[in-house]
Amino acid sequence: MHASALLFAAALTSISLDPPAMKNPVGISIGAVRLRRQHAHSFQKILQDELKQRVRWRGVDKDDPEVLTLHLPAVAAASLDDEHPELTRFLRENKGEYLPGVRKKCPTLALKPPPSPPPSPPSKKAKKDDDGSSGGFRFVELFAGIGGFRLGLERPDVGGKCVLANEIDPHAASIYRENFADSDSCLAEGDVLDLSGDNLPKFDMLVGGFPCQPFSNRGEQKGLDDDRGQLYREMARILKEGQPKCFIFENVPGLVTMDGGSRTGRVKGERPRFTPGAVFERILKTMRSCGYNVDWQVLNSRKFLPQMRERVYIIGTRIDLGPGCEKFNWDSLILKDLKEEETATVRNIMEPKDSPAVIASELTPAQLAKVKSVHSKRGTILSEDGRIDPDCKAPTLISRYHTLSSFSTKFIFEEADGTPCRRPRYLTPRECTRLMGFPEDFIVPTHEDAKATNKYYHAIGNAVCPPLISVLGMELMNCIR
């Protein structure tokens, strides 16, 4: 077995310990406490009293019958990093020990080594990577979801190869495995906090869409006060530890304007202009502190797909590689002149009206009554405000699309051939998949499996659009070659 394969097999399977007593200036605080079993409950109680919130261990190692290793939530680790007086006193008096930087062992993060490629002589015209290998680039996909980044970057004309993907949601991970035959050798299912940077495989690009819920205009917008809002720091940690050549991150445009930012109003024929708020500026500063030139832009997938989907894309190139980002041609994305068939309307992606999936997606009378009630309470009319126009772009597909109580959910009233629907219906899983630009051979659940279908709607609404990622990836790699 190649040495690189052995290194990869060891990745993520062991506890990783950062230098003792050293705070992680980039990533989320992480650590564990070694404490005799009889003191564990008392320590949990004092944590809850001092932090004024419920505390659950991220995990408990029971290797020693007398002593437990208690993996701390981030807020508790941060308090001990800051030498919280009551917590440190308790540990001192009870002969406990705080272990900063310790990451939890997680069986689902243990990966099989990737198959070694057969040796082949490099082409004389092939470009060389830093390690002497020819062609292509390797990337790590964090918050992988169902693999939208991977689909975009592994297109033959882009040339990427996923060497590690991480996803915590078991349903999304299940969809990922079903659609990528080699996922056992690259998908690490588990918490990003438990990914050890020490043994990451060699990679050229880091990609991911860190959780958007804290920044979305459709939510409470707790921002950095939401634990999920801090997960960008784990992207920064992997950047700092892996030092790839470049990165692409994605999120909702609400991230840009949060806490003092703004955007201009919608004017036909003009792109909105964004002014970053304090939260976004802080995130950009963190990425730059890892040694990268950083740039960003809000792009709309309507240029690529039959869907209106604004997202902010943050790109970065390692400083030692030169200007990088300064050469990135955003105009190639903003002003791209696509053929008409490539910017199809909803009607072009609809399934036949007699498809079993279409029939199954029709609202029941009880569901229709509930949806009408939602609109009535808002003073809106379902047939007008809840309608998807088949001859236009679809509104943004969201993770809560298949939710009756969501006002954001829009319905099909007219089939592809112009036939009026008996009752309004949801977009089918396949139609949603097409709206996002996923390939036709991407596996979606059958209409008979209601639970899997609900989970799929959530996952596809959280995904990125592969066609847009493809163009971003090609342009970014051209900047650093």
* Sign of the Cα pseudo-torsion (6, 12, 17, 18, in order): positive
162 is catalytic: no
- 301, 403, 392: which is closest to 348 by C-alpha? 392
| Annotated catalytic residue, options 106, 212, 432, 479 | 212
| Ramachandran area for residue 246 (φ above 0: left; ψ -120 to 50: alpha; else beta) | beta
Contact criterion met (CB below 8 Å) for 298 and 310: yes
User: Strand, coil or helix: what is 274?
Assistant: strand
Contact criterion met (CB below 8 Å) for 171 and 139: no
Give the C-alpha separation, 397 to 415, whole Å. 19
Residues with Cβ within 8 Å of 222's Cβ and at least 6 positions away in sequence, in order, are 214, 229
Give the residue carrying structure tokens 């404490």: 35
Question: The tokens of 172 are what?
Answer: 């999304």
Give the C-alpha separation, 238 to 31, whole Å. 17
CA 298 to each of CA 215, 251, 256, 460: distance values in angstroms, whole numbers, following the listed order:
14, 9, 9, 20
Give the C-alpha separation, 254 to 242, whole Å. 29
User: Strand, coil or helix: what is 347?
Assistant: helix
Give the residue carrying structure tokens 């020693």: 64
Contact criterion met (CB below 8 Å) for 315 and 321: no
Question: The tokens of 304 are what?
Answer: 């690529």
Question: The tokens of 454 are what?
Answer: 């609900």
Quick one: DSSP state of residue 399? T
CA 73 to chain centre: 21
- 332, 334, 335, 328: which is closest to 314 by C-alpha? 328
Question: The tokens of 394 are what?
Answer: 């679809």
Bridge-based pairing state of the strands 137-142 and 387-388: unpaired
User: Strand, coil or helix: what is 261?
Assistant: coil
Give the residue carrying structure tokens 């790590």: 140
Active-site positions read 212
